[in-house]
Amino acid sequence: MDVYGLVGNPVGHSLSPPMHEAAYEALGMDAQYVTFEPETAAAAIAAAKTLGIQGLNVTIPFKRAVLEAVEPAPLADRIGAVNTVDLATDPPTGYNTDAIGLLRAFERHDAELSGTAVVVGAGGAGRAAAFALADEGLAVRIANRTVSRAEELAAAVGDDVATAGLDALPELLADADILVQATSVGMDEDGSPVPARALHADLTVLDAVYSPVETRLLRDARAAGAETIDGGWMLLYQGVAAFERWTDRDAPVEVMNRALRARLDGAV
């Protein structure tokens, strides 16, 4: 039996197991997806290798710490975070499939990735979004509550990346084409870091928050006539990318999506 898994703390809430287990069943694979909560990222990698686990997803709080225990692929190294580890290589290779998941979510919705993108947040999801969108050739602007963190990220992404505090969002968004909300705002409260008045019909808005699926930002964006993409799509496609990396097989995307949506719908 092939074994894959997720390391983090906590992981009990994760929606990765039903997605991956559904894929294994659909393809008739003799495989299992497990979760565990190690004390350190290095301990997780060592234990996984000992147990013969072929691949790992990595979540909070280990996405940055695990860099010391793997050989990061170029994009993961630039982003400074790993969320997928291929244990079939020696040393294990670390990838960032959050960036891939973001781009595939936009592709799924036929969104044109051109012009100017505003990324709200400079944490893990914000870093992945900023690098991914800059690599696609968009002009990237980063807004963050703490401007110094936005400036630090901008310096890593490129010299022409603009930064600002959240109070500047109306000005940043006035002529923007893409908005990625990459903070946790909206997860535990019915709020949004983006003023509704700043949204307009020429935007495509992706909110990385997936629980709840329908966030305040997405409701406001839809009311303004913008195209909207919920965070479940980014979650789905980062999992799809991990599955394909580990197995070298095409993922049953629709099967994985149905399994994910069933859990997301139940969480609302």
Active-site residue list: 63
Distance (Å, rounded) from C-alpha 259 to C-alpha 49? Answer: 28
C-alpha distance from residue 132 to each of 66, 71, 100, 101, 120 (Å) = 21, 20, 8, 10, 14
Q: Does the bond joining 212 to the residue before it have cis omega, within 30 degrees of 0?
A: yes
Residues 6+ apart with CB under 8 A from 212: 186, 187, 267, 268
Tokens for 145? Answer: 């509550």
- 71 membership: H or E segment, kind and range: strand 71-72
Sign of CA pseudo-dihedral 175, 230, 141, 197: positive
